[in-house]
Amino acid sequence: MAKQPQPISPLKNFFAGGFGGVCLVFVGHPLDTIKVRLQTQPKPQPGQAPLYSGTFDCFRKTLVGEGVQGLYRGMAAPIIGVTPMFAVCFFGFGLGKRLQQRKPDDVLTYPQLFAAGMLSGVFTTVIMAPGERIKCLLQIQAATGETKYSGSLDCAKQLYREAGIRGVYKGTVLTLMRDVPASGMYFMTYEWLKNILTPEGKSVSDLSVPRILFAGGLAGIFNWAVAIPPDVLKSRFQTAPAGKYPNGFRDVLRELIREEGVASLYKGFTAVMIRAFPANAACFLGFEVAMKFLNWVAPGL
């Protein structure tokens, strides 16, 4: 594989990752809204058509009924959380790589990169779980026509008032089940693609913008190929009324399989895959641009 830039700086990863996360949210949030609405729409009664027939129908109805702002429902929560979340994510990946190096110039294997990526998934769950809970509730609220929460902060306050910190962090185990293996796949795929796209004798840090976009976008697709089933379970569980699933995700899984079949675990697949490429391409491009800037202004950081 092509040689990785050395030394690894978890602190630079922290700041560059935060900027990359902001880029991801702005590009990908509209399709994230579509994904959540598809995943959480109720099962239609016999003889009735489903609320949304698919990704494009959901997109059209949201746009017609709520305008462009409807596609950005709940974006405040991920924007507030995404900078520290992606900062911690990339910091965790950088730290995971550093911990596996015996010498600063060691080149990591792909299994080691996968392990470092999994560590980043553990790091981000503390921020990701409550952010996802609030985002999902706000995204489906507009679709149901009810207005229980006036915004992200109001949603967080009500959740805490109703069930304490456990109410805010509902779905944490499912967030871990989604993000730990998916993050391993995410970062390993990105590093693998950067290596194979780097011309012989060149450094991965010299990759062109189109190649960075391609590697980042494809890494996002590999990430979501792993993450979709637990993400469906997480969305259902986090938006369900209190007490509906007393045994946690096992009850959600049993209900989905019994009522809608295995295919229900891939609800929102089209929206996720359409979103994955441009959103993660933007994320990694933002990360690489920010990293180059940091290397220029603070080479010793």
> What's the Rg (C-alpha) of the chain?
20
Q: Residue for token digits 């049993």?
A: 254
d(CA 113, CA 119): 10
pLDDT band at 2 (very low <50, low <70, confident <90, very high): very low
Q: Would 146 be classed as within a structural domain?
A: yes
pLDDT above 50: residue 15: yes
d(CA 75, CA 159): 18
Q: Would 64 be classed as within a structural domain?
A: yes
- Domain region containing 177: 10-42+50-297
The pLDDT value recorded for residue 118 is 96
Q: Would 194 be classed as within a structural domain?
A: yes
pLDDT in tens, 243-255: 899 988 899 999 9
The pLDDT value recorded for residue 212 is 94
Contacts of 49 (CB under 8 A, 6+ apart): none
Q: Would 4 be classed as within a structural domain?
A: no
**Domains identified in the chain, total number:** 1
Report the CATH number that the domain containing residue 129 is assigned in CATH: 1.50.40.10
Q: What is the model's pTM?
A: 0.79
Question: What is the longest distance spanned by two Cα atoms in the chain?
Answer: 66
Q: Would 3 be classed as within a structural domain?
A: no
> What percent of the chain shows pLDDT beyond 90?
46
- Which tokens belong to 170? 């509902």
Q: Would 19 be classed as within a structural domain?
A: yes
What b/e string do you get for 238-252 counting C-beta neighbours within 10 Å, with b at 16 or more? bbbeeeebeeebebb
d(CA 14, CA 86): 8
Q: Are 295 and 16 in contact (CB under 8 A)?
A: no
Q: Would 5 be classed as within a structural domain?
A: no
Phi, psi of 47, rounded to the nearest 5 degrees: 85, -10
pLDDT in tens, 137-183: 988 886 666 788 888 889 999 999 999 999 999 999 999 999 999 99
- Which tokens belong to 28? 């990908």
pLDDT in tens, 71-129: 888 787 777 767 788 899 999 999 999 999 888 778 899 999 999 999 999 988 888 89
Task: Calculate the average pLDDT of the chain.
Answer: 88
Q: Residue type for 181, please?
A: P
Q: Would 77 be classed as within a structural domain?
A: yes
d(CA 70, CA 39): 17
Closest CA to 194 of 95, 135, 108: 108
Q: Are 234 and 132 in contact (CB under 8 A)?
A: yes
d(CA 81, CA 106): 33
